[in-house]
C-alpha cells in the first residue's frame, strides 16, 4: 500500500513539474520564441521543449493547459 502511495505521489510531482514547464514554454511561445531559444533560456532538453512547443502550436487558439498536458504525457 505504501508503495502505491509513493508511486502516486511521484506521478503527481512529475505531472506538476511538467505543468510548470508547459506554462513557461507557452509564455515563450506567445513571445514568438523558437524551440531552440526556449530550451536555451530554460536550460532544458531541446527535444522535450520541441514536443511541448508542437503541442501548443497544434492546439492554436483552442489551447488549454489540461489538454496540452494530457497530450504531452501520452
User: Distance between CA 12 and CA 27 in Å, rounded?
Assistant: 23
Q: What tens-digit pLDDT sequence spans the chain (74 residues)? A: 677 666 666 667 778 899 999 999 999 999 999 999 999 999 999 999 999 999 999 999 899 999 999 998 88
- Sign of the Cα torsion 12, 14, 17, 21 reads negative
Residues 6+ apart with CB under 8 A from 72: 18, 22, 51, 52, 55
Phi and psi angles of residue 64, each rounded to the nearest 5 degrees, phi first: -135, 140
Q: What are phi and psi of 46, to 5 degrees?
A: -65, -35
Q: What is the pTM of this model?
A: 0.82
Range of the structural domain that residue 44 is part of: 2-73
> Domain count of the chain?
1
Amino acid at each position: 500500500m505504501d508503495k502505491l502511495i509513493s508511486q502516486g505521489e511521484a506521478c503527481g510531482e512529475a505531472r506538476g513539474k511538467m505543468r510548470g514547464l508547459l506554462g513557461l514554454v507557452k509564455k515563450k511561445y506567445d513571445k514568438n520564441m523558437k524551440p531552440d531559444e526556449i530550451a536555451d533560456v530554460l536550460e532544458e532538453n531541446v527535444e522535450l521543449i520541441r514536443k511541448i512547443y508542437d503541442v501548443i502550436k497544434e492546439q492554436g487558439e483552442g489551447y488549454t493547459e489540461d489538454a496540452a498536458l494530457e497530450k504531452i504525457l501520452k
